[in-house]
Amino acid sequence: MSEANASPELGKQAGTKSTSLFDFYSQPKFLKALPLSLQHLLAMIAGVITPPIIVAGVVGASPADKLLLIQMAVLASGICTIFHLYGVWKFGARLPAIFGVGFAYVPTLIAVGGQYGIEGILGAQLIGGITMMVVGYFIQYIRHLFPPVVAGTVVLVIGLSLYDVAIKYMAGSGNPTADGFGDLMNWAVGGITLLTVLIAAQFGKGVIKLSAIIVGIVVGYVIALALGMVNFDSIGEAAWFAAPKAMPFQMEFHAAAIASMVVICVINSVQTIGDLSATCVGGMNRELKTKELTGGLLGNGLTTTLSSFFGALPTSTFSQNVGIVALTKVISRFVLVIAGAFMILAGLSPKFGAVMTTIPFPVLGGATITVFGMITMTGIQLLVKDEMSARNMTIVGLALALSLGIAAVPEAIAQFPEVVRNIIGGAPIVIAAIVAFVLNIALPNKSLSDEAKEREAIAKADEEANKAAAAQNKQTNGAS
């Protein structure tokens, strides 16, 4: 058995301390695990700090409150990741997955924050987190409602919807209206980073091959530094240490805000199913177990609920890190624990976190676009686990068409009720999840063999009808 194909349960079953990178329970050498941990960290750090930055702008937060929101997001992500790696009682996925404050909630957070402020967000988040735990508790009874055709569609849409993020980053910013967006220098740095990742992944050996993303980021960062594209101002302004405080913001409870947050939290549960399924299929070569799914949903609901008391935004799985696991097959829990520890350190030390935010957007874009591609392919890998019958292709096709189509033309739903726009606006994963879920329940469950029998029955009926018509014509002609 090769190391890369070793069972993830091997170290636990054998009772020995494995050092394999491809064993979930192993503990490889720190220096061997470090670069692999850093690439997980760097792949998700921009996604962690961007939501609180956006929310801070929407609610008109002061500079101090903005830094607090960022600090709490990073700290919560580290704690949440380590919590899920080890689990407590029934809570926690116990899978090689990164959890943290993510993009999935941003459209809803913008809508709620613009109307009710950060207080309204945190109050609604508390109820949303509890809702996620309810979904997690009952998932063992309703898991059959989320077969590969549903989970795979969600993962596929996640991958496809992230491409524009990577392209915007390679062009220079997450905001197309920013100064210098699309500058050829940005594309050059992003392109060199991407090329480095490809060379390291395809021609590298050992740790270099597995750490292709971090190798690309290092090369891109050095080039960006030489070109004067790195800004160190945030490091000097950040404090060395800042302890978290309970209830830094008050909570307010508004029915409209709660309704919007509950819906997005339920939809995020579907994303979690997709991401955890993709982690198992792409990284561990097996199906997701019900116990792991239940623990993941319960744990994510618990961390989302507790985060609201400390000013951290809702948590979710990180799809880009799922892509890294699928790309490298590195599933050692120790590797991800190091990444989680760095996030906790960054959350307690804003100055440390500021260092990671100096990585220019083109470098991040060039390094992560291959990861987003892997997410897409993992979604396809999930889909083909089900038969590609006409029924299933209808589900996937309609989910893709409606979700990506509306996301590309958000003005098309401008006349919809505000609560609907808040829930689905700008979030193709929400539409894809709803469409795939509803169609999977509504459409008759016909297999390829059932569809073949239907065609045979139709052909046989046509043949008999033709024979009957021929006999009728013959009888008519004979009578005349």
When pLDDT is cut at 50, 70 and 90, the band that residue 40 belongs to is confident
In the prediction, which pLDDT does 72 show? 92
- Between 357 and 185, name the one with better pLDDT: 185
pLDDT in tens, 283-320: 888 888 989 999 999 999 999 999 999 999 999 888 77
Cα–Cα distances in Å, from 150 out to 194, 398, 412, 424, 431?
Answer: 31, 12, 25, 18, 12
As a whole-number percent, the residues of the chain with pLDDT over 70 amount to 93
- Between 236 and 412, name the one with better pLDDT: 412
Lowest mean pLDDT among 1-15, 142-156, 402-416, 424-438: 1-15
When pLDDT is cut at 50, 70 and 90, the band that residue 133 belongs to is very high
Q: Is the dihedral of CA 268, 269, 274, 276 positive or negative?
A: positive
Secondary structure, 3-state, the chain: CCHHHCCCCHHHHHCCCCCCCCCCCCCCCHHHHHHHHHHHHHHHHHHHHHHHHHHHHHHCCCHHHHHHHHHHHHHHHHHHHHHHHHCECCECCCCCCCEEECHHHHHHHHHHHHHHHHHHHHHHHHHHHHHHHHHHHHHHHHHHHCCHHHHHHHHHHHHHHHHHHHHHHHHCCCCCCCCCCCCHHHHHHHHHHHHHHHHHHHHCCHHHHHCHHHHHHHHHHHHHHHCCCCCCHHHHHCCCCCCCCCCCCCCCCCHHHHHHHHHHHHHHHHHHHHHHHHHHHHHHCCCCCHHHHHHHHHHHHHHHHHHCCCCCCCEEECHHHHHHHHHHCCCCHHHHHHHHHHHHHHHHCHHHHHHHCCCCHHHHHHHHHHHHHHHHHHHHHHHCCCCCCHHHHHHHHHHHHHHHHHHHCHHHHCCCCHHHHHHHCCCHHHHHHHHHHHHHHHCCCCCHHHHHHHHHHHHHHHHHHHHHHHHHHHHHHHHC
Rounded mean pLDDT of 90-113? 84
Rounded mean pLDDT of 116-137? 94
In the prediction, which pLDDT does 423 show? 67
What is the chain's mean pLDDT, rounded?
84
pLDDT of residue 420 exceeding 90, the answer is no
In the prediction, which pLDDT does 213 show? 80
In the prediction, which pLDDT does 7 show? 45
The position carrying tokens 């937060």 is 61
Contact 41, 347 (CB under 8 A): no
Determine how β-strand 99-101 pairs with β-strand 315-317. antiparallel
In the prediction, which pLDDT does 401 show? 93
Rounded mean pLDDT of 396-419? 87
pLDDT in tens, 194-204: 999 899 888 98
When pLDDT is cut at 50, 70 and 90, the band that residue 16 belongs to is low
Tokens standing for 171? 């062009």
Lowest mean pLDDT among 61-65, 69-73, 92-96, 328-332: 61-65
All residues at 6 or more sequence positions from 39 whose CB lies less than 8 Å from its CB, including other chains = 211, 212, 213, 214, 217, 324
Contact 335, 40 (CB under 8 A): yes
When pLDDT is cut at 50, 70 and 90, the band that residue 479 belongs to is low
Rounded mean pLDDT of 435-444? 91
Greatest mean pLDDT range, 13-27, 56-70, 89-103: 89-103
pLDDT in tens, 314-356: 998 887 788 888 888 899 999 999 999 999 988 898 777 677 6
- Between 480 and 226, name the one with better pLDDT: 226
pLDDT of residue 14 exceeding 50, the answer is no
pLDDT of residue 480 exceeding 70, the answer is no
pLDDT of residue 10 exceeding 70, the answer is no
Rounded mean pLDDT of 139-166? 82
pLDDT of residue 128 exceeding 90, the answer is yes
- Between 196 and 240, name the one with better pLDDT: 196
In the prediction, which pLDDT does 4 show? 44
The position carrying tokens 């760097």 is 42
| Biggest CA-to-CA distance, the chain | 106
The domain locations on the chain are 3-15+24-390, 451-480
In the prediction, which pLDDT does 6 show? 44
In the prediction, which pLDDT does 176 show? 77
As a whole-number percent, the residues of the chain with pLDDT over 90 amount to 31
